[in-house]
């Protein structure tokens, strides 16, 4: 190789290096310039007291310190608490995942109920026709391990559910103990999409022509399930209906409007007021399946939020008789934001009012016919609220 070639090669190498470094330096400068701006904006907020305090803790505290993610979560919780709004909350990634599954009405799982037995052990009860049953799991099987995680005595059913659920198509490897078998055994189950119904329905036996529908949560699938319920019941000759919203803590706002739309033919369902006093009125769609027949709605103190939207609309518009106990009284709307690390924050973003502009927050809705239910009724399997509803529908009073 000649001297000249070597020199050209060296020059070329130098040039390339210089260009690349300049490029990198440029990226660095551009990034830093902006990054520093955000940093100084934070300092200006007077938040420096936080770091002053935390440095003292880091330097002096006798005990284990949280990692920076848990520190951030703790600080977020503390800051949200200053809003004094119990509905503006922070959810860690795992509970957020559960919430998403609840609201979509579907999740990746094995199709078994997971409960805590009296002795604290976690037992399975397979749903008919679902993967767990097909894999031979029997009612009462005790979970010892999920994949490589041992089930320890302090664990709750919820924690085990989180381990068992996962992406559709992946394998859950369960180590189980069964009464009568000496040794624990291992079952591998491919997770499938499991639907969790939000609506259950039947014709009441006590009386002909009266249907019963219970909605447990306002999920993505509620509208479809309710349509199916109304279709089937109508097909069985239903002309009167009891809609049970007791213990229904709410769910999606759109689902509430959809549900109200099945019983109201157009017209307002709720008014929503956002920040800046911007008002939006949600109206019922036309084409509802049960807009004229006699309707009684059952409510109690656990009837909250999206449920109260439906109840408020049906009551204000004179569409239904409300029976039971005063409702919870939650008249605010939360927007859910997923954060960059998979956790999420629920932020109260609006208030809502019934069609007649009644305020719900802290008040609740008073039923037209108040009927209490006692612990004694419950223990004896009696339901005086449902009995009263049937009476109203059959006698008209």
Partner 1 sequence: MSNSVGCKIALTAVIVAVVMGGLGFITGFLTHTVLVAGQPPTPQTIVVQVTVTPAPTLPGLEPTEPPELPQPTPEPTPTPPPTDHAHPAFDLFWETWDLIQEEYYGDLPNEEEVTYGAIRGALNTLGDPFTGFIEPRVAAINREDDSGSFEGIGAYVTMREGRLVIVNTFQDQPAEKAGLRRNDIVLKVDDTPIENMSIYEAITLIRGPAGTQVRLTILREGEEPFEVTITRARIDIPVVESEMREDGIAYVSLFEFSSDASVKLGDAIQPLLAQKPRGLILDLRGNPGGWLNEAVSTAGLFLPRNELVLIERFKDGTERPYHTDKKPLAPDIPLVVLVDGGSASASEIVAGALQDHGRAVLIGEKTFGKGSVQLAHELSNGAELRVTVARWFTPNDRAIHGQGLEPDILVEIGQEDVEAGRDPQLERAVEYLLTGR
User: Looking only at residues 27 through 56 of this chain, which bind partner 1 when binding is defined by CB under 8 A?
Assistant: 27-31, 33-35, 38-39, 42-43, 45-56
The verdict on 5 binding partner 1 (CB under 8 A) reads: no
CA separation (Å) from 45 to 50, 68, 79, 81? 11, 21, 14, 19
Of 172, 214, 178, nearest to 194 by C-alpha is 172
User: How far apart (Å, rounded) are the C-alpha atoms in residues 288 and 281?
Assistant: 19
User: How far apart (Å, rounded) are the C-alpha atoms in residues 259 and 179?
Assistant: 45
CA atoms within 13 A on the CB side of 48: 6
Q: Would you say 56 or 208 has its CB closer to partner 1?
A: 56
Instruction: Report the Cα–Cα distance between both ends of the chain, in Å, rounded.
Output: 109
The window from 75-83, 204-212, 229-237, 372-380 that contacts partner 1 (CB under 8 A) reads 75-83
User: How far apart (Å, rounded) are the C-alpha atoms in residues 171 and 121?
Assistant: 23
Q: Show the tokens assigned to 67.
A: 């990692």
330 flagged as catalytic:
yes
The verdict on 13 binding partner 1 (CB under 8 A) reads: no
Q: Which of 6, 9, 83, 200 touches partner 1 (CB under 8 A)? A: 83
Q: Would you say 238 or 297 has its CB closer to partner 1?
A: 297
User: How far apart (Å, rounded) are the C-alpha atoms in residues 321 and 334?
Assistant: 28
Which of 198, 330, 343, 344 is catalytic? The answer is 330
The window from 135-143, 198-206, 296-304, 362-370 that contacts partner 1 (CB under 8 A) reads 296-304
Contact 322, 367 (CB under 8 A): yes
Contact 325, 297 (CB under 8 A): no
Q: Show the tokens assigned to 198.
A: 């939000």
Q: Would you say 67 or 188 has its CB closer to partner 1?
A: 67
Interface pattern 170-189 for partner 1 (x via CB under 8 A):
--------------------
Which residue is associated with the tokens 């990226």?
27
104 flagged as catalytic:
no
The verdict on 68 binding partner 1 (CB under 8 A) reads: yes
The verdict on 116 binding partner 1 (CB under 8 A) reads: no
The verdict on 198 binding partner 1 (CB under 8 A) reads: no
The verdict on 119 binding partner 1 (CB under 8 A) reads: no
The window from 72-80, 199-207, 227-235, 379-387 that contacts partner 1 (CB under 8 A) reads 72-80
Q: Would you say 141 or 262 has its CB closer to partner 1?
A: 262
Q: Would you please indicate which residues are annotated as catalytic (active-site) residues?
A: 305, 316, 330
């Amino acid at each position: 190789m000649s001297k000249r070639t070597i020199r050209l090669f060296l020059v070329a190498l130098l040039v390339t290096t210089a260009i690349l470094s300049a490029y990198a330096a440029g990226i660095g400068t551009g990034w830093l310039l902006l990054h520093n701006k955000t940093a100084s904006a934070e300092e200006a907020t007077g938040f420096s007291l936080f770091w002053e305090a935390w440095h003292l803790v880091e330097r002096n505290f006798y005990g284990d310190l949280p990692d920076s993610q848990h520190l951030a979560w703790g600080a977020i919780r503390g800051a949200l608490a200053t809003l004094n709004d119990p509905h503006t909350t922070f959810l860690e990634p795992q509970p957020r995942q559960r919430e998403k599954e609840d609201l979509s009405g579907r999740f990746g799982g094995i199709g078994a109920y997971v409960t805590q037995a009296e002795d604290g052990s976690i037992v399975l009860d397979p749903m008919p026709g679902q993967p767990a049953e097909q894999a031979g799991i029997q009612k009462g099987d005790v979970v010892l391990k999920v994949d490589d995680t041992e089930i320890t005595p302090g664990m709750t059913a919820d924690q085990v559910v989180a381990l068992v659920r996962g992406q559709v198509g992946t394998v859950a490897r369960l180590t189980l103990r069964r009464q009568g078998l000496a040794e624990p055994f291992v079952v591998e189950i491919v997770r499938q999409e499991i639907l969790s119904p939000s609506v259950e329905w039947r014709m009441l036996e006590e009386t002909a022509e009266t249907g019963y529908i219970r909605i447990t949560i306002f999920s993505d699938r509620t509208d479809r399930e309710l349509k199916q319920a109304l279709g089937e019941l109508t097909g069985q000759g239903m002309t009167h209906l009891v809609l049970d919203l007791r213990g229904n803590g709410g769910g999606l706002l759109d689902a509430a409007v959809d549900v109200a739309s099945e019983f109201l033919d157009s017209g307002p369902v709720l008014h929503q007021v956002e920040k800046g006093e911007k008002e939006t009125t949600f109206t019922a769609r036309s084409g509802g399946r049960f807009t004229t027949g006699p309707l009684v709605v059952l409510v109690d103190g656990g009837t909250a939020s999206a449920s109260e939207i439906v109840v408020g609309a049906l009551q204000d518009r004179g569409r239904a008789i409300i029976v039971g106990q005063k409702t919870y009284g939650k008249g605010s709307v939360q927007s859910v934001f997923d954060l960059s690390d998979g956790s999420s924050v629920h932020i109260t973003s609006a208030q809502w009012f019934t069609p007649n502009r009644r305020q719900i927050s802290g008040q609740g809705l008073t039923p037209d016919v108040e009927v209490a239910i006692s612990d004694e009724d419950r223990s004896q399997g009696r339901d005086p609220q449902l009995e009263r509803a049937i009476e109203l529908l059959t006698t008209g009073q």
